[in-house]
Amino acid sequence: GWTKLKLMVILLGCAVAAKAQNPFVESIYTADPSAHVWSDGRLYVYPSHDIAPPQGCDLMDQYHVFSTDDMVNWTDHGEILRADDVDWGRAEGGFMWAPDCAFKDGTYYFYFPHPSGSGDQWNSTWKIGVATSSEPAANFEVQGYIEGLKSMIDPCVFVDDDGQAYLYYGGGNLCEAGKLKDNMMEIDGQMQQMQGLVDFHEATWVHKYNGMYYLSYSDNNNDGGNQLRYAVSDSPLGPWTYRGVYMKPTGSPTNHGSIVEYKGQWYAFYHNSILSGHPWLRSICVDSLFYNQDGTIQEVTQTREHGTPYLE
Ligand code: FUB
């Protein structure tokens, strides 16, 4: 009868929940997950790709995309872009750092930080490249880069409910943002410094919850790695009111998060190094995120189930 059926549903639910694990991608090393839910009903993650053997972030030279419809089973859509595809990029390749993706009027826009200068010029020549496709996880073509920006990293593009898109990026102690034109590849007006953030390092992410804007980012904490912090505003360009740390160190020196709602549950995406045991071979993770009644975010509980040492 009904009771037996209910019991079966509950048991099935437990079995599905128990299968969820971190890191959720084990086939390659990944970092900096930017998660989005697109109109096909799937959740897509656009991460960086750490390359073994571990040598820091200089070797990163390609991007993969992953997607799911149940937060348990993930599809690797394969490589969508590599340094060789970028004609304005540095000759030696590498350094393809934390990306993001946005959707507007039938087109997916993939934003990626990549330097243009060779040799030791890499860190003063970052550009925010843009590639476009009519699909979320294939056939991206590089269109160029956004003109007029500083040499900074970690683009985040937030499209508001009214269709207006905003570009955020940063690094060091500086986070800047501005409006994007309808073509999603040019700044409309001036970029401005985001005010009110405490101990900003990098990894900007903006989402909206209950009509408020949330800007989250990684800090400069060295003890166990960067923490994730956030601030809120009633405007997408601030000024921001600092609200605190929502994720403690993961054990990896860096962290880089995104916050997204999927099928009625909010999630925090981030990375750690527990699969490799090596600081620069990172892996993307996800855990549930909860808000308090007043709109503040509860500290995310990190699920750490894996730890297979990296083998050369
Ligand atoms: O993955 C390369 C860089 O490390 C990212 O751009 C930063 O956010 C940090 O995670």
Instruction: Identify the active-site residue in 50, 61, 154, 202.
Output: 202
Which of 228, 256, 285 has most ligand 1 atoms within 8 Å of CB, for mutation? 256
pLDDT on residue 305: 72
Distance (angstroms) between ligand 1 centre and the Cα of 130 equals: 18
- What pLDDT shows up at residue 15? 41
- The predicted pLDDT at position 6 comes to 57
Residue 176 is a catalytic residue: no
Residues with CB under 6 A from ligand 1: 31-32, 48, 57, 97-98, 153-154, 202-203, 254, 256
pLDDT of residue 1: 56
Q: Which residues of the chain have pLDDT under 70?
A: 1-20, 306-312
How many angstroms does the Cα of residue 254 sit away from the middle of ligand 1? 7
Angle ∠(101,63,258) on CA atoms, nearest 5: 45
pLDDT at res. 55:
75
pLDDT of residue 14: 42
pLDDT of residue 17: 42
DSSP states of 243-273: EEEEE---SSS----EEEEETTEEEEEEEES
pLDDT at 73: 94
Q: State the pLDDT at residue 21.
A: 85
d(CA 306, CA 110): 30
For the sheet containing 258-262, what is the strand order?
Answer: 258-262, 265-272, 283-289
Q: Indicate the pTM of the whole model.
A: 0.93
What tokens were used for 189?
């007006």
Nearest-CA residue for ligand 1 atom 9 is: 254
Task: State in Å: Cα 37 to ligand 1 middle.
Answer: 22
ipTM score of complex: 0.98
Q: Kindly state the tokens that stand for 201.
A: 């390092």
